[in-house]
C-alpha cells in the first residue's frame, strides 16, 4: 500500500507541471494522391481531442468529427460519430517558441460487423513530423504524415494542420 501511495504522489507531482490542452487537428489529402479526382481537389478529416504537454514531450488522443471534400466548385463536410476511430500519439518537440516535432501515432479503429456489432480493433502505426509555433497558450502546427512501413513513398502525400489551446 505504501508503494502505491509513493507512486501516486510522484505521478501527481509530475502531472502538476504538465499543461493540458484542447486540439483541433486536420489531415489534408490532396487530389494528386487520390485516383480519379482532379488535382486541384482533395479531402480533409477534422479531428478534436486532448493533449498533455510535459516539457518537450507531447501525448494526446484525437477522434474525427468531420470528413469533407474540397474542389474549385466549393466544399462539403459531414459530421462523423465521435469515437469510431481514435488516434493515440506521443512524441517530442525541440525549440520554443518555434519548434520542430516528431510523433508516432497508433490509429485504433473499430468497424461495424454485419450484425451491427463492433469487430475487434485493428492498429496502424503512422509517423507525424513538422514544425509549430507557440503563441502564449495557443499553438499552430504544420507537418506531414507518413507510414512507417513505407516512408519514401508516403511522406509529403498527407498533410497535418493543427491548432490548439493549452491551459
pLDDT (tens digit per residue) in 112-153: 544 444 455 555 788 899 999 999 889 999 999 888 888 888
* CATH of the domain spanning 18-166: 2.40.160
Tell if the pTM clears 0.95, that is, is over it.
no
Contact call for residues 92 and 130 (beta carbons, < 8 A): no
Q: Picking from 77-86, 120-129, 149-158, which range would have the lowest pLDDT averaged per residue? A: 120-129
Contact call for residues 118 and 84 (beta carbons, < 8 A): no
Q: What is the mean pLDDT of the chain?
A: 84
Give the span between the Cα atoms of 65 and 40, in whole angstroms: 24
Q: Which of 92-106, 122-136, 147-161 has the highest mean pLDDT?
A: 92-106
Q: Which of 36-45, 66-75, 124-133 has the highest mean pLDDT?
A: 124-133
Contact call for residues 99 and 62 (beta carbons, < 8 A): no
What secondary structure letter does DSSP report for 117?
P
Amino acid at each position: 500500500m505504501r508503494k502505491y501511495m509513493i507512486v501516486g504522489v510522484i505521478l501527481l507531482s509530475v502531472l502538476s507541471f504538465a499543461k493540458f490542452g484542447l486540439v483541433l487537428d486536420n489531415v489534408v489529402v490532396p487530389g494528386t494522391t487520390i485516383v480519379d479526382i482532379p488535382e486541384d481537389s482533395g479531402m480533409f478529416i477534422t479531428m478534436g481531442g486532448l493533449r498533455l504537454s510535459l516539457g518537450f514531450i507531447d501525448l494526446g488522443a484525437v477522434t474525427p468529427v468531420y470528413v469533407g471534400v474540397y474542389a474549385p466548385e466549393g466544399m462539403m463536410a459531414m459530421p462523423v460519430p465521435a469515437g469510431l476511430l481514435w488516434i493515440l500519439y506521443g512524441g517530442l518537440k525541440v525549440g520554443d517558441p518555434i519548434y520542430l516535432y516528431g510523433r508516432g501515432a497508433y490509429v485504433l479503429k473499430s468497424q461495424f460487423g454485419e450484425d451491427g456489432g463492433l469487430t475487434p480493433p485493428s492498429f496502424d502505426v503512422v509517423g507525424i513530423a513538422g514544425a509549430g509555433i507557440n503563441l502564449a497558450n495557443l499553438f499552430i502546427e504544420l507537418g506531414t504524415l507518413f507510414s512507417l512501413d513505407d516512408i519514401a513513398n508516403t511522406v509529403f502525400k498527407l498533410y497535418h494542420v493543427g491548432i490548439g489551446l493549452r491551459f
